[in-house]
Amino acid sequence: MHARARVAAARLAAEQVLELLLEVELPDPSPGQFVMLWVPRVGEVPMSVADYEGGVLRLFITRRGVVTGYIHENARPGLALFVRGPYGRGFTMPRGGRVLLVGGGTGTAPLYFLAKRAGLSSAGCTAAVGFKSSRHVILVDELRKYCDVRVATDDGSLGHHGPVHELAAALLSGERYDRVYACGPEQMIVEVLRLLEGREEALEASLERYMRCAVGVCGSCVLDPLGLRVCRDGPVFSGAVLRRLHDLGRWWREPDGRKRPLAPQATG
């Protein structure tokens, strides 16, 4: 069953991105894990954990369709939402060494959670984060506590003008890292994977697929040809695995199980 999660605070953190603080008792999530967020009579959707401390769960929710739209319009303190989880395998915690985080949009959230939980510092952590524009930026100031942060925007309104993988490319050309963590649009992950080809950095990246059960039973979220379930075998996968996933960057499995070409905007 779900745990009741009362909205403690809800604010628009950026354009189309709602930051939710939910009071809810959960088994302690690890960075990269997600929860299923149920809005009674509306729907249930997967959301990455952006933080969990003192019984307060933090989520960043991009407005997309029915459920996220409803939340954007109705979330105010006191509203009861419902959560189950946390689910999935999160990131391997970095043990020393130099770390590069590559985030796109709300994909920055789980990376922030990772940086915070791992207690990273800008000596060991560089973060390249990309957004559509300066109005879409989230978590950058907070992330600076743990990492040396570089920002990119699609329209050049803040930081590097261009996709975030270009920032990553520049960083990678000047430096060797021990681990690279990526979360964001799947095309971004494909680019990062390409950047790391032939290099020694261990990559871990988080994926999204349509989900139902979230516990590895229904098969809705499976990735071909390895038969990996995003909800249980992921959502975080290693670079070695990602390279063998033919679906990556190409195919999205619809609720009926058919695959359609992955739209560029499939991820927040």
Partner 1 sequence: MLEVEVAGLRLRNPTVLASGVLGVSASLAKRVEEAGAGAFTTKTVTREPRRGYMNPTFVVLEHGYLNAVGLANPGIEHFCQELREMRESLSIPVILSVGGGSAEELVEVARRGVECGAQAVELNVSCPHVRGMGVELGHRADEVAGAVGEIRRLGVPVLVKLSVHHDYLRLAEACLDAGASGFTAINTVRGMAIDIYARKPVLSNVYGGYSGPAIRPIAVRVVYELYEAFPGVPIIGVGGVDGWEAALELILAGASAVGVGSAIAEKDLAIFEEIVRGLKEYMEREGFSSIKELVGLAHRS
Ligand X SMILES: Cc1cc2nc3c(=O)[nH]c(=O)nc-3n(C[C@H](O)[C@H](O)[C@H](O)COP(=O)(O)O)c2cc1C
Ligand Y SMILES: Cc1cc2nc3c(=O)[nH]c(=O)nc-3n(C[C@H](O)[C@H](O)[C@H](O)COP(=O)(O)OP(=O)(O)OC[C@H]3O[C@@H](n4cnc5c(N)ncnc54)[C@H](O)[C@@H]3O)c2cc1C
Token pair, residue 47, equals: 């959301």
Q: Which 202-231 positions form the footprint of ligand X (CB under 6 A)?
A: 217-218
Distance separating alpha carbons of residues 49 and 116, to the nearest angstrom: 12
Instruction: Kindly identify the residues of this chain, within the stretch 200-219, that bind ligand Y according to CB under 6 A.
Output: 208-211
Candidate ranges 21-29, 71-79, 199-207, 226-234; the one touching ligand FES (CB under 6 A): 226-234
Q: Which two tokens stand for residue 14?
A: 């950026």
x/- site string to ligand FES, residues 227 to 246, per CB under 6 A? Answer: --x-xx--------------
The entry of ligand X, partner 1, ligand Y, none that residue 4 binds, CB within 5 to 8 Å by partner kind: partner 1
Q: Which of 60, 91, 177, 237 binds ligand Y (CB under 6 A)?
A: 60
Binding track, positions 80-119, relative to ligand FES; x by CB under 6 A: ----------------------------------------
Token pair 């060991």 in the structure block, residue: 124
Beta bridge partners of 243: none
Min separation Cβ 96 and ligand Y, Å: 28
**CA-CA distance, 163 to 77, in Å (whole number)?**
36
Q: How far is the CB of 200 from partner 1 (least distance, A)?
A: 29
Please work out, in degrees rounded to the nearest 5, the angle formed at the alpha carbon of residue 108 by the alpha carbons of 74 and 186. Answer: 100
Among 152, 220, 228, 248, interactor with ligand FES by CB under 6 A: 220
> Out of 5, 39, 67, 139, which residue is the one contacting ligand Y (CB under 6 A)?
67
Q: Which of 20, 21, 47, 189 binds ligand Y (CB under 6 A)?
A: 47
**Beta-carbon count within 10 A of 70 CB:** 15
**260: helix, coil or strand?**
strand
Structure tokens at 174: 């000047």
Query: Strand order of the sheet with strand 43-48?
Result: 43-48, 34-39, 80-87, 3-14, 17-23, 56-62, 51-53
Is residue 219 a contact residue for ligand FES (CB under 6 A)?
yes
Site residues for ligand X per CB under 6 A: 217-218
